[in-house]
Chain A
């Protein structure tokens, strides 16, 4: 199949027979057959419209997403702020209790 160009009919027969990976391999190496696939098969407008309706989002999707995404982002930011504050507190307390922390020499103070 690799060195023979596919006719539309043969292409359809191969795909109907489940030879998808064989067709993909051939098309990857054959510009002419790739162009045939690309040029063929635009959906008719009624089908395209029905397809578009089938996957259309609810009318209020964007409004609800604006609220829920902003809310989740803010919650994550709050957690990050809390973690930072905790970290600062922890580091500060370590300065007071860490035995390896040396006092500043009197001359430098």
Chain B
């Protein structure tokens, strides 16, 4: 179902209607990028899942106001970014040990050890990067979003996005020189 058609359908059938197709689409398209961004900000596996759920419910509630200026994923990620930053403010001093974060996907027993070590090294390197820059790094270099989309989601200026990304990549590359 097209977004505009979904909105129309929901309006016609009153607020008491649960559009399963819309919920399904929000979950299918947005869960993964939301999780990656959230965990990069709060660094806590369970909290990142809570943020994903909270964001998707907020997006469902606010969907009638979605005008389609940005893509659906960008719009939802913007809501998710604000939700994650608020969550970070609440739990700032109580973050999960990065070494306990799950490593996925596993391709085989040999690769498992290598992946695990790489992930631990990445999380140690990310310690040296602030949460806002970490989220920019994930949005741009993992999710492959454009600079413009990263600006829209994080609310940062173009210059800020470029500078922070440059610094974060350099930090990561310096610390992880052995993984190049």
Interface residues of A (CB under 8 A from B): 11-12, 15, 20, 23-25, 27-28, 34, 37-38, 40-44, 46-59, 61-62, 64-66, 68-70, 72-74, 76-77, 80-81, 84
Contact = CB atoms under 8 A, between A and B. Distances in A.
Contact of B172 (A28, A51, A68, A84): A51
A65 B15 CA distance: 22
A25 B163 CA distance: 10
Given A15-B167, A27-B162, A70-B18, 20 more contacts: A34-B158, A40-B166, A44-B179, A47-B173, A48-B141, A50-B179, A51-B122, A53-B103, A53-B105, A55-B35, A55-B40, A56-B103, A57-B32, A59-B105, A65-B53, A66-B27, A69-B53, A69-B57, A80-B15, A81-B16
B36 A56 contact: yes
Interface of A is mostly: helix
B68 interface: no
B158 A50 contact: no
A20 B141 CA distance: 21
A65 B166 contact: no
Interface of B is mostly: helix
B52 to A, nearest CB: 6
Contacts of A58: 49, 102, 104
A29 to B, nearest CB: 8
Contact of B101 (A34, A54, A73): A54
A72 B53 contact: yes
A56 B122 CA distance: 13
A64 B101 CA distance: 18
A37 B28 CA distance: 34
Contacts of B17: 77
Given A55-B35, A70-B18, A70-B20, A46 B118 contact: yes
Nearest to A78: B16
B104 A65 contact: no
A62 B27 contact: yes
Contacts of A68: 53
Interface string B37-71: 10110000000010011001100110000000000
30 contacts: A15-B163, A20-B167, A24-B160, A28-B158, A28-B159, A34-B162, A41-B169, A44-B173, A44-B179, A46-B179, A47-B172, A47-B173, A48-B141, A50-B115, A50-B119, A50-B176, A51-B122, A51-B142, A51-B172, A55-B36, A55-B40, A55-B138, A56-B36, A56-B103, A57-B52, A57-B104, A62-B28, A65-B56, A73-B57, A80-B16
